[in-house]
A = this chain, B = another copy of it.
């Protein structure tokens, strides 16, 4: 299977897997963002993934293209974090390749990335010095000659997706290992999602609700894994409180991409 198709398949499989507490899945929509929006983005991102697959062009530009291509529906940004992980993975073919690709980013990647960021409604950590809404930020990036990897370093403390870039994709790796351990088929995606949710505070939840809520969600996910809390109950709690572990979902997508490339079978 081509790397571009593998990325699309990973996005499709992740959003269909259910029940995933708090996130859009086969059984739940958000009011403004529905299953169909996620699947439309999966279709529309193809040219950007093909660009990455050819290994031409620059990572920052390709991430921007993916955001542009998937911004044509009303569901808002569905996959910004996933693209940040998938584009270097598709470009490099696997985690080792993605690390090499990331090392080669420069200030032009950082600028393109910030332009992509500005097109999304993704929220940043408060009082960020490199605020996406501040017109002076692009000049700062250029003055400091920051690479896209530098930008991710800047965000790593508050964003687990950025942290994957800086630390060499350890959670993506762990997610792929969990998929292999759980065996083939879509149930393993839910298990992997829950296992990551139980062990890592989701930075998307932290930005929206604070660290306490993220830690509480971790604890409850562990109770689901321990069999002391029904997964449906956690799902309902998350939905009622608008808690959606969006960054864990992004990392799960990257993990599916990697696992598929290592022979993990989705179709059983």
**A residues neighboring B (CB under 8 Å):** 1, 5, 8-9, 12-13, 16, 26-27, 34-37, 39-40, 42-44, 46, 72-75, 186, 266-268
Q: Are A16 and B40 in contact, with the CB atoms below 8 A?
A: no
Give which listed residue, B39, B74, B268, contacts A39 with CB less than 8 A: B39
Q: Which of B5, B27, B35, B266 is in CB contact (< 8 Å) with A16?
A: B35
Q: How far is the CA of A36 from the CA of B37 in the complex (A)?
A: 16
A40 near B26: Cβ-Cβ < 8 Å? no
Contacts of A266 in B (CB 8 A): 36
Among A8, A36, A42, the one with the most B-chain Cβ atoms within 10 Å of its Cβ is: A36
**Contact A36 to B13, CB < 8 A, known contacts A26-B26, A267-B73, A267-B75:** yes
For residue A259, give the distance in angstroms from its CB to the closest CB of chain B.
Answer: 15
Additional A-B contact list (12), CB under 8 Å, known A9-B43, A42-B43: A8-B43, A12-B39, A12-B40, A13-B36, A16-B36, A16-B39, A26-B27, A26-B35, A27-B27, A39-B39, A74-B267, A75-B267
Please name all residues of chain B whose beta carbon is closer than 8 Å to the beta carbon of A74 when the two chains form the complex: 267-268
Sample of 28 A–B contacts (CB below 8 Å) = A1-B72, A5-B43, A5-B44, A9-B40, A9-B43, A12-B36, A12-B39, A12-B40, A12-B43, A13-B36, A16-B35, A16-B36, A16-B39, A26-B26, A26-B35, A27-B27, A34-B186, A36-B186, A36-B267, A37-B267, A39-B39, A40-B267, A42-B43, A43-B43, A46-B46, A74-B267, A74-B268, A75-B267
